[in-house]
Amino acid sequence: MLPFKHPFSNRNSKYFLKCNFLAVVNDGIAPPQRILFPPEKIRMDWQQPLSVGVGLQNMGNTCYLNATLQCLTYTPPLANYMLSLEHSKSCQEKGFCMMCTLEAHINQALRLSKKAHFRYGRQEDAHEFLSFTVEALQKACLNGSTTLDTSSQATTLINQIFGGYLRSQGTCQKSSCPLNWSGSTFLFIQTVTSVTEALEQLVKPEQLDGENSYKCSKCENMVPASKRYTIHRSSKVLIITLKRFSAFTGGKINKDVKYPEYLDLRAYMSQSMGEPLIYSLYAVLVHSGSTCNEGHYICFIKAGNGFWYRMNDAIVERSDTETVLNQQAYLLFYIRVSCCSEKDSHCRETIVCFLVCSLG
């Protein structure tokens, strides 16, 4: 089992799955010694009947920031908490606090009629900004509690929304010993035409032999081995990044990759048998342009009223499902559909997986 600390820590990878931690189940993961945020307080459905909020003014190359913030703003469990103002009421941080900053932004974006503004800057990458933002939110939630065990640190609000586990399994083909894999967590794929195809590649066993043979720690031989990754726990929010930019040249891969409105993650879990794990698409971030250093970002979000909207900086327009599903997506945001009432603790398990899929 491999816990991961950063969803986008290696831009050279063609296919990267990152996860952190979650709820307590009997799956071999150590239970937390302390719960930092009660999981029963996380609300997956919109708690207020809000329509679409305001657009965000582009202050000079801030479209990447605007589009990413809009996707976070319309993440229901995160927005519900931020709209309650619970964090700022109890925050003891004297300096900068990312949680307070995002809380103020979400309340302004959803409750005020004027456009929000940001300082001038340069064009950046949206998925890197998203990663750094989530990391800063997690740090703010910990509030210096870094001496806690890893499982306890994973019980913050943010990690219960944006965290998970990836399982890495290997088998020595000579002795049939189970292998404890460490180090690289990247999977390379030549081509994908759909998100489901990419997920199938993720869980496909990889054969290691020849120069890539593995030294088995139990039989102490260089042996052929098989290696396989699976998502070890289900999630509340699933963020998929289609890796459209070359790590070396910055050039963009322009191709259509199909993605569904509803995605069943069950087949890609460690426990592939069981009830469906259905996710519903609620935001799509799109980049137009030929390289990662130029172009424009927009996004499509599903508001609390159930309608889709196109968010192009300060411009907010109604859209529809067909249009949303026919974009050259860069980031896809899915939320798990509850199979039962939130009062049922079995449906309150949290987790998120960040996927970076190679497109060529």
Question: What are the residue numbers of the active site?
Answer: 63, 296
Amino acid at 158: I
Of the candidates 10, 22, 7, the one whose C-alpha atom is nearest the C-alpha of residue 354 is: 7
Q: How many CB atoms lie within 10 A of CB 321?
A: 13
Separation CA 25–CA 235 (nearest Å): 13
Q: What single string gives the DSSP state of each residue in 26-75?
A: SSSPPPPSS-SS-GGG---S-SS-------B---SS-HHHHHHHHHHHT-
Separation CA 87–CA 103 (nearest Å): 8
Q: What single string gives the DSSP state of each residue in 302-345?
A: E-TTS-EEEEETTEEEE--HHHHTTS-EEEEEEEEPPSS-TTSG
CB neighbour class for 338 (10 Å; exposed up to 12, middle 13-18, buried from 19): middle
Judging by DSSP bridges, how do beta strands 225-231 and 166-172 pair with one another? antiparallel
